[in-house]
Amino acid sequence: MGVADPGSKVRRWRPEELNALGTMSDDVLARKFGRTRVAVQAVRERAGIPDPDRSKNRWTAAEVALLGTKPDDVVARKIGRDPKLVMKKRLSLGIANRFNPRAPAWSPEELKLLGTRPDEELALQLGRTLVALVAKRRQLRMPMFNPALPTS
> Average pLDDT of each block of 10 consecutive residues along the chain (152 residues)?
55 90 87 92 85 70 89 87 84 75 80 92 86 86 79 56
pLDDT of residue 79: 86
DSSP 142: P
In a domain, 23, yes or no: yes
For the chain, what is the domain count? 2
pLDDT of residue 112: 93
pLDDT of residue 56: 54
Please identify, among 37, 67, 92, the residue that sits at the C-terminal boundary of a domain.
Answer: 92
pTM across the whole model: 0.38
pLDDT of residue 8: 59
List the alpha helices (DSSP H) in the chain. 15-20, 26-33, 37-46, 52-55, 61-66, 72-79, 83-92, 108-113, 119-126, 130-139
pLDDT of residue 3: 41
In a domain, 35, yes or no: yes
Domain that holds residue 66: 58-92
In a domain, 65, yes or no: yes
